[in-house]
Structure 1
Amino acid sequence: MVSQNAVSYTHRWWPDQKPEFLTLANGGPKVRYLRAGHGPALVLLHSIRTQLDLFQRVIPKLVDHFTVYVFDYPGFGWSEIVPGADYREPAMREHVVNFIRRLDLHDITLAGESMGATLALTAAAELGDRVKQVVAFNTYDYLPGVERANLLASIIIKSVRAPIIGSTFAAMESRATLAGILSGGLRDPRNLPPDFIDELVKGGKRPGYSNVARAVYRALPSYVAARPHYARIDAPVTLVYGDHDWSRPAEREANRALIKDAKMIVLNDTGHISSLESPEEFARILTETQSTARFAA
Structure 2
Amino acid sequence: MMPFASQVDGFTLRPSRLIVAAPVLVIAALAILVWRDPYAIVRAEYARQRIAAGLTQRSVDAGGHRWIYAERAADRADAPTLVLLHGYTGSKENWYRLAEQFDRRYRLVIPDLPGWGQSERRPGADYGYAAQAENVAAFIDHISEQPVVLVGHSMGGGIVAVVAARHPRRVSQVALLDASGVRFKDNQFGLDVLAGRNPFAVTDAAGLERYLDILFHDRDARPAIPWPASHAVISQRRADGDFEQSVLDRIGRGDERFLPYDLAADIDQPVLLLWCQQDQVIDASAMAIFAARMPQARQVLLDGCGHMSLMEQPAAVAQAVSELIAKGTPR
Same fold (TM > 0.5): yes
Corresponding letter in the other structure for 2:203? E
The match for 2:250 is 219
2:136 to 87, 90, 96: 96
Identity %: 23
- Measured against aligned partners, the alpha-carbon deviations of 1:238-271 in whole angstroms (never above 9, x if no partner) come to 1111111244455322210101311111111121
Aligned in 2, Cα 1:64/1:88: closer, same or farther, shift over 3 Å? same
CA distance in 1, matches of 2:138, 2:208: 30
SS at the partner of 2:164? helix
Q: TM-score, normalised by structure 2?
A: 0.74
2:114 to 70, 74, 90: 74
Corresponding letter in the other structure for 1:90? A
Query: How many positions carry a matched residue from both structures?
Result: 280
The answer to whether the Cα contact below 8 Å between 1:111 and 1:135 also exists between their aligned partners in 2 is yes
Which stretch of structure 1 is more off in the superposition, 230-239 or 96-105? 96-105
1:85 to 125, 138, 155: 125
The answer to whether the Cα contact below 8 Å between 2:271 and 2:324 also exists between their aligned partners in 1 is no
SS at the partner of 2:176? strand
Which stretch of structure 1 is more off in the superposition, 61-70 or 195-204? 195-204
Higher relative contact order (CA 8 A, sep 6+): 1
The match for 1:292 is 327
Which stretch of structure 1 is more off in the superposition, 55-64 or 244-253? 244-253
Q: Which runs of 5+ in 2 are unaligned?
A: 1-39
The match for 1:62 is 102
The match for 1:141 is 181
CA distance in 2, matches of 1:289, 1:85: 34
Aligned in 2, Cα 1:63/1:85: closer, same or farther, shift over 3 Å? farther
2:60 to 22, 33, 52: 22
SS at the partner of 1:140? coil
1:53-202 equivalences under 5 Å are: 53-142=93-182, 148-149=188-189, 154=192, 158-160=196-198, 173-195=203-225, 198=229, 202=233
The match for 1:166 is none
Q: TM-score, normalised by structure 1?
A: 0.82
CA distance in 2, matches of 1:291, 1:159: 42
1:236 to 243, 254, 270: 270
Deviation at 1:217, TM superposition (A): 1.7
Aligned in 2, Cα 1:159/1:228: closer, same or farther, shift over 3 Å? closer
Deviation at 1:206, TM superposition (A): 8.4
The match for 1:36 is 72
CA distance in 1, matches of 2:317, 2:246: 30
Deviation at 1:184, TM superposition (A): 0.9
Which stretch of structure 1 is more off in the superposition, 208-217 or 40-49? 208-217
- Measured against aligned partners, the alpha-carbon deviations of 1:199-235 in whole angstroms (never above 9, x if no partner) come to 8954963896333212122122333233111111121
Aligned in 2, Cα 1:100/1:208: closer, same or farther, shift over 3 Å? farther
Q: Which runs of 5+ in 1 are unaligned?
A: 162-168
Aligned in 2, Cα 1:97/1:196: closer, same or farther, shift over 3 Å? farther
- Measured against aligned partners, the alpha-carbon deviations of 1:174-198 in whole angstroms (never above 9, x if no partner) come to 3431342232122223311024994
1:209 and 2:240 are equivalent in the alignment: yes
SS at the partner of 1:122? helix
SS at the partner of 2:275? strand
CA distance in 2, matches of 1:22, 1:176: 37
The answer to whether the Cα contact below 8 Å between 2:162 and 2:259 also exists between their aligned partners in 1 is no
Deviation at 1:159, TM superposition (A): 3.9
The answer to whether the Cα contact below 8 Å between 1:149 and 1:181 also exists between their aligned partners in 2 is no
Corresponding letter in the other structure for 1:269? G
SS at the partner of 1:266? strand
Aligned in 2, Cα 1:180/1:42: closer, same or farther, shift over 3 Å? same
The match for 1:165 is none
- Measured against aligned partners, the alpha-carbon deviations of 1:17-70 in whole angstroms (never above 9, x if no partner) come to 431221113xx1212101113031000010110100001211011142210111
Corresponding letter in the other structure for 1:19? Q
The answer to whether the Cα contact below 8 Å between 1:204 and 1:210 also exists between their aligned partners in 2 is no
Corresponding letter in the other structure for 2:168? G
Which stretch of structure 1 is more off in the superposition, 89-98 or 216-225? 216-225
- Measured against aligned partners, the alpha-carbon deviations of 1:52-90 in whole angstroms (never above 9, x if no partner) come to 000121101114221011111111111112111112211
